[in-house]
Amino acid sequence: MEEIQKRDIRKLSLSELEEFFLSQGEKKFRAKQVYEWLWNKSLKNFDDMSNISLSTREMLKTHFSINHIHVDLMQHSTDGTIKNAVKLYDEKIVESVLIPTSKRITACVSSQVGCSLDCNFCATARLKRMRNLNPDEIYDQVVAIKEEADTYFQRPLTNIVFMGMGEPLLNYNNVIEAIDKITSPDGLGMAARRITLSTVGIPKMIKKMADDEVKFNLAISLHSAINETRSRLMPINDKSPLEELGESLKYWYQKTKRKVTYEYVIWDGVNDDERHALALAKFCKLIPSKVNIIQYNPIDEGEFRQASQEAVDMYVRVLESQGIIAKVRKSRGQDIDAACGQLANKNEVGELTK
Ligand code: SAH
């Protein structure tokens, strides 16, 4: 007898699974039970589905596989941050990070294997983009971190940020599908306002998100509000300069009434002067917004260097004097290369993806 080609059961929607159950002469409600095991409870094998009969489990096993991600390596930082090297079904590796603070536990997840955007201060850019992550691969990263939050901190996961590897707006459909599952009661039931998508800022996609009436938060990696400087840092700015980005953000605000966050690194000799701070303040006035000044995490021998404390203070002064909220964020997990922009599969399992 020819062996049946096994499909990944989590590629099926609930109604497809119900149809399958009916076609096998099984009860429809059993499909819903299996679906709950797969998503809500994140089971990794059929044998653990305790309310499903042995014969139904065997039947499922002959038709389907469950392609769950696998945490291949877990590294613990001295500050509590945990970095997972996650192996995918095709042996590719992405990284995700658990960031604990006194009030929150945040999961920082990847949306692509590598990245195509060439921001020249970011380690992930050096990997180039290999492929988009599937919705379940994004979802599973969150599940893995939720489990680690429970094991290592006995606390629930509170927030999710799409600030790992890759550009989420270049893998839009899969990211949205993952977020739908994460927020659905069938999935993890998390509130959309606890999720933040971070992007280099692709105007067309920002408008699309606004049209789609998404409920999560938007963060833009700005780093400079002067085109010449921004283009040097982020080549995407040549294609979509600040004027166009600003237009799309106005559209976003009109439609969603949601504030945006600008992520901003201040580098020595690059954007650490008052001219840049004033340009940022002006850009911030386009729509209600706030600024997260993030510390630079060095990725090589020093083409870029973190600006002085005086420069950071100057920015805060300029922004606050114009009524703009600015927070200075400390970097986390630097000792295990888990901080923003450092995700580049630098450990031994990561060698596989190079
Ligand atoms: N592609 C998305 C998400 C990934 S990067 C984006 O660009 O927003 C997540 C954040 O880390 C971005 O704000 C990015 O600009 C920042 N970042 C990248 N490299 C960094 C580095 N070496 N030090 C500090 N922040 C960095």
By C-alpha distance, which of 126, 125, 131, 255 is closest to 200?
125
- Give tens-digit pLDDT for 121-130: 988 877 777 8
Report yes or no: 353 and 127 within 8 Å, Cβ to Cβ: yes
Ligand 1 site, residue 264, Cβ cutoff 6 A: no
CA distance between the termini of the chain: 40
**Residues labelled catalytic:** 95, 340
For the whole prediction, is pTM greater than 0.75?
Answer: yes
| Structural domain includes residue 163 | yes
Residue 348: predicted pLDDT: 44
Could you give the CA distance from residue 303 to residue 307 in angstroms, rounded to a whole number?
Answer: 13
More confident residue, 203 or 351: 203
pLDDT of 353 > 50? The answer is no
Residue 351: predicted pLDDT: 38
CATH number at residue 121: 3.20.20.70
| Structural domain includes residue 354 | no
Residue 300: predicted pLDDT: 73
Ligand 1 site, residue 263, Cβ cutoff 6 A: yes
What residues have CB less than 8 Å from 251, skipping those under 6 apart? 206, 207, 210
Its domain, for residue 48, covers 7-65
pLDDT of 228 > 80? The answer is yes
Ligand 1 mean position, distance from CA 1 (Å)? 52
By C-alpha distance, which of 179, 325, 205 is closest to 262?
325
Same structural domain for residues 40 and 131? Answer: no
pLDDT of 344 > 80? The answer is no
Same structural domain for residues 39 and 80? Answer: no
Same structural domain for residues 187 and 278? Answer: yes
Q: What is the mean pLDDT of residues 53-77?
A: 94
Q: At what angle do helices 172-183 and 135-148 cross, to 10 degrees?
A: 40
pLDDT of 264 > 70? The answer is yes
- Give tens-digit pLDDT for 134-146: 999 999 999 999 9
Q: Where are the beta strands (DSSP E) in the chain?
A: 7-8, 64-65, 70-76, 82-87, 93-100, 105-108, 112-113, 131-132, 159-162, 195-199, 217-221, 260-265, 289-294, 325-329
Best of 118, 128, 198, 305 for a ligand 1 pocket test (most atoms within 8 Å of beta carbon): 198
**167 conformational bin, left if phi > 0, alpha if psi -120 to 50, beta if neither:** beta
More confident residue, 334 or 223: 223
Could you give the CA distance from residue 151 to residue 153 in angstroms, rounded to a whole number?
Answer: 6
Ligand 1 mean position, distance from CA 200 (Å)? 8
Distances (CA, A) of 97 to 65, 82, 108, 275, 332: 27, 6, 5, 35, 10
Same structural domain for residues 229 and 267? Answer: yes
By C-alpha distance, which of 284, 294, 286, 293 is closest to 323?
284
User: What's the mean pLDDT when you consider all of the chain?
Assistant: 92
Same structural domain for residues 129 and 269? Answer: yes
Q: Per-residue confidence at 333, pLDDT binned at 50, 70, 90?
A: confident
Q: What is the mean pLDDT of residues 1-5?
A: 54
pLDDT of 287 > 80? The answer is yes
What residues have CB less than 8 Å from 279, skipping those under 6 apart? 224, 225, 226
pLDDT of 188 > 50? The answer is yes
Best of 94, 119, 233 for a ligand 1 pocket test (most atoms within 8 Å of beta carbon): 119
Is 147 annotated in some ligand binding site? no
- Residue-level length of the chain: 354
Residue 337: predicted pLDDT: 79
pLDDT of 186 > 90? The answer is no
Q: Above pLDDT 70, what percent of the chain?
A: 94
Lookup: tokens for 188: 């993890």
pLDDT of 48 > 60? The answer is yes
Same structural domain for residues 153 and 202? Answer: yes
Same structural domain for residues 119 and 19? Answer: no
Could you give the CA distance from residue 10 to residue 46 in angstroms, rounded to a whole number?
Answer: 12
Q: What is the mean pLDDT of residues 322-337?
A: 87
Report yes or no: 119 and 233 within 8 Å, Cβ to Cβ: yes
